[in-house]
Amino acid sequence: MIAIIDYGMGNLFSVEKAFVKLGAEVVVTSSPEVILSADKVVLPGVGAFGDCMSNLAEYGLIDVIHEVIGRGTPFLGICLGLQMLFDGSEEDPGVKGLGVFPGMVRKIVAPDLKIPHMGWNSLEFASDSQLFAEMPSETYVYFVHSYHAVPEDDKLITAVVDYGGPVTAAVGRGNVQAVQFHPEKSGNVGLSMLSKFKEMKI
């Protein structure tokens, strides 16, 4: 069973719909017990970093996420769900992130391009990730974001996108994988990535 964390933020039901299309057993939930009992866990997110972290705290889910990750349960962050895995964000200075990965979320610097970075763009795979196994080069996915993660360890980056320079598109280590783009809005390519997460083994 795949648990999609409901903390009052995020495009939960489009993510749920995508997994249902793949034949997954999926539940949208804010119950710590259900999340902890799940085979896999997804943390989606849209909006502001500070609001998302505040809601996670209000729902009592920060320790639950750390426990899930610590157990080795396959975990997928999507969009803000990626950014919250880091220590903090320039979007909301002083707000602590989950601190799963060392590093900060920074404003995209692309003087000649529009911010937010919105629309389809191609990925450049930076290191091995089960999500991207056998993906062709020039794989296009859908983005909507103004900030991106800057890990302390570059080896965490599994994919980048060129937007006035390299911008972090995905990160991962072990059971924790995360994407800045929206796989649920990225057509068959995105469904293929979600399918790989559905089958992911640690």
pTM, whole model, 2 decimals? Answer: 0.96
Q: What residues have CB less than 8 Å from 101, skipping those under 6 apart?
A: 85, 86, 149, 151, 153, 156, 171, 173, 176
Q: Catalytic residue, from 16, 52, 79, 148: name it.
A: 79
Q: Catalytic residue, from 117, 145, 148, 182: name it.
A: 182
Q: Which helix (H) or strand (E) holds 42?
A: strand 40-43
Q: What residues have CB less than 8 Å from 71, skipping those under 6 apart?
A: none
Average pLDDT, the chain: 95
pLDDT score at 83: 98
Active site residue 52: no
- Provide the residue range defining the domain that includes 112: 2-198
Say whether pLDDT at 10 is over 90: no
In the chain, the N- to C-terminal Cα span, in Å, equals 16
Quick one: 27 exposed, middle or buried, by C-beta within 10 A (0-12, 13-18, 19+)? middle
Say whether pLDDT at 202 is over 80: no
Banded model confidence at residue 54, pLDDT cuts 50, 70, 90: very high
Say whether pLDDT at 11 is over 80: no
Helical H segments across 61-153, by residue range: 62-71, 80-83
**In this predicted model, what pLDDT tens digit does every residue of 167-193 receive, in sequence order?**
999 999 999 999 999 999 999 999 999
* CATH number for the domain that contains residue 102: 3.40.50.880
Say whether pLDDT at 201 is over 90: no
**In this predicted model, what pLDDT tens digit does every residue of 63-90 receive, in sequence order?**
999 999 999 999 999 999 999 999 999 9
Active site residue 182: yes
Q: Catalytic residue, from 16, 145, 148, 184: name it.
A: 184
State both tokens at 58: 């209000």
187-198 and 12-21 helices cross at what angle (nearest 10)?
80
With contact defined as beta carbons under 8 Å apart, do 158 and 145 qualify?
no
State both tokens at 83: 């950014």
The more confident residue out of 166 and 9 is 166
- Total structural domains within the chain: 1
**In this predicted model, what pLDDT tens digit does every residue of 94-152 receive, in sequence order?**
999 999 999 999 999 998 899 999 999 999 998 888 999 889 878 999 999 999 999 99
Residue where the block lists tokens 């389809």: 120
